[in-house]
Amino acid sequence: MSSYYSPVSLPSLAKSLREGSLSLAGYIEQVLSKMEDVEPIIHSFVPEDKRKERLLKEAEALEQRYPDPYDRPPLFGVLVGIKDVIKVEQLPTRAGSQLPPHVFDGAEGAVVFSLKKAGALILGKTECTEFAYFQPGPTTNPLNPAHTPGGSSSGSAAAVAAGISPLTIGTQTIASIIRPAAYCGVIGFKPSFGRISPYGVFPFSQSADQVGFFTADLESMKIVASVGISNYIMAGKKNKPRCAVPSCEYLSQADPMAQQSFKKSISKLKEGGYDIVSSQLYRNIDLLNNLHMDMISAEFSQNHQEYFWEYSDLYSPHATSLYRQGLRVSIETLKRAREQQIILRCEITEKMEQNGIELWLTPSTTRTAPSGLHSTGNPLMSLPWTFAGLPTLTVPAGKERNGLPYGLQIVASYGQDEILLAYASEIEAIVNKD
């Protein structure tokens, strides 16, 4: 099976566009030509009529706004993909569903506004699972199209892996950034809950939803974070951080091969001078998993109540089941789940402070990307960190015999997004050293 994996780094591309050594029109032509070649196989973007005409018109307006290369913003002309649950002017939103686009009408997403302000052009909407849940869309994995790209931000991860866009936007409610990024061999970053405004995002679960990013490498991610996260202040590296591995039933959710790959990464980091300790965390992981599912299903039902009664025949069995599951969750259970989010976040923060822990290290996924497109894979390695609202990042870390990548998930304390990105580059370099 052919691989279509050819990610593009953002810094050099953005520099060429700002300086004018690469014309906007020429760049657009290159990207659209690549899309013609790979999109019939990858299906990372929602089809759009007259995409080229729209982009050339927007590029001309951008050049007129910034004629002087020295005054151009950091993402001048960079083509960005936006997950199809986030609203973009002139582009319909369908949230990967069969519902009519007018259902999702509303103001443009705050993250889209930030990217446009930084000079980015919106290449288009990226495919996602239905309502960002479990029903897969058409997207395949660029590393091997016979395997899932993960979900729910399927198209966003695949578009970066295939080199169509150097930057895409996704959302995560359980594992929808970390899992597809790991499956597709790219960088995925879910900031701390609330660091990016959810304005203009069609909600799955307001208590868990978080906007995040996909890029080819960490230098690209640092640029994106500085643009997309409010009050972002670049952090410098100090000494090697003390890291912890959760020594509990949480890790047993990963299959033996994933655990073996993870142990190799930990061994490399210890050999590289990292102090890595085991720490008890998530002693009752099944209870936590169930609590998170109760919370997000209840909020999903609330968000879809109006639409479901009018368009129930357009909902997949997956979405219908989740909707009905959410109706059975009591107000008291939902309230308790929301309270437990804050309690868990405080408990993790206290444990980190008491033991001098700066980062947690775990497998990004329970295994590499499964074959077939009927499922987007298991989300459980990301679930507790998403529930607690902590910033998480996945970097490629080794490969299975079939060539598909494993990922290393790195987690920081709440609000320490800048610290997480500052340390990640050295960690990635060590775990991928031969």
Tell me the CA distances in angstroms from 280 to 10, 246, 346, one per residue in order: 39, 6, 15
* Locus of tokens 């951080």: 241
Catalytic residue annotation? 83, 152, 176
The pair phi, psi for residue 315, each rounded to 5°, is -90, 140
Mean pLDDT of 261-277: 98
- Domain assignments of the chain as residue spans, ordered by start: 10-228, 243-282+341-431, 286-327
CA-CA distance, 121 to 91, in Å (whole number)? 13
138-153 tens-digit pLDDT: 999 999 999 999 999 9
DSSP secondary structure string for all residues of 30-59 = HHHHHHHHHHHHH--B---TTHHHHHHHHH
CA-CA distance, 220 to 8, in Å (whole number)? 9
Q: Give 75's DSSP letter.
A: T
347 Cβ neighbours under 8 A, 6+ residues apart? none
How many residues in total does the chain contain? 434
Mean pLDDT of 163-182: 98
Write down the mean pLDDT value for the chain. 97
CA-CA distance, 250 to 246, in Å (whole number)? 7
**What is 10-228's CATH number, 3.90.1300.10, 3.40.5.90, 1.10.150.120, 3.40.50.300?**
3.90.1300.10
For helices 317-327 and 285-311, the axis angle rounded to 10 degrees is: 110
Model pTM? 0.98
Q: What pLDDT, on the 0 to 100 scale, is given for residue 75?
A: 98
Position 236 confidence tier, pLDDT thresholds 50, 70, 90: confident
Closest CA to 375 of 366, 388, 383: 366
pLDDT at 237 over 80: no
305-360 tens-digit pLDDT: 999 999 999 999 999 999 999 999 999 999 999 999 999 999 999 999 999 999 99
CA-CA distance, 12 to 151, in Å (whole number)? 29
Q: What pLDDT, on the 0 to 100 scale, is given for residue 234?
A: 85
- 421 burial via Cβ count (<10 Å: 0-12, 13-18, 19+): buried
**CB–CB of 300/204 below 8 Å?**
yes
Q: Give 369's DSSP letter.
A: P
Tell me the CA distances in angstroms from 169 to 80, 263, 344, 373, 408, one per residue in order: 8, 31, 27, 22, 20
CA-CA distance, 363 to 185, in Å (whole number)? 13
pLDDT > 90: what percent of the chain?
97
Q: What pLDDT, on the 0 to 100 scale, is given for residue 304?
A: 98
Position 1 confidence tier, pLDDT thresholds 50, 70, 90: low
Closest CA to 83 of 29, 137, 27: 137
Token pair in block for residue 66:
């910034």
Angle at CA of residue 432, ends 379 and 380, nearest 5°: 10
Coil, helix or strand at residue 315: coil
Contacts 24+ apart (CB under 8 A), 321-325: 322/133, 322/134, 322/297, 323/297, 325/293, 325/297, 325/301
The pair phi, psi for residue 106, each rounded to 5°, is 165, 180
In Å, the largest CA–CA distance within the chain is 60
Torsion sign, CA atoms 306, 156, 40, 375: negative
Q: Is 77 left (phi over 0), alpha (psi -120 to 50) or beta?
A: left
60-119 tens-digit pLDDT: 999 999 999 999 999 999 999 999 999 999 999 999 999 999 999 999 999 999 999 999
| Helical (H) or strand (E) element with 206 | none
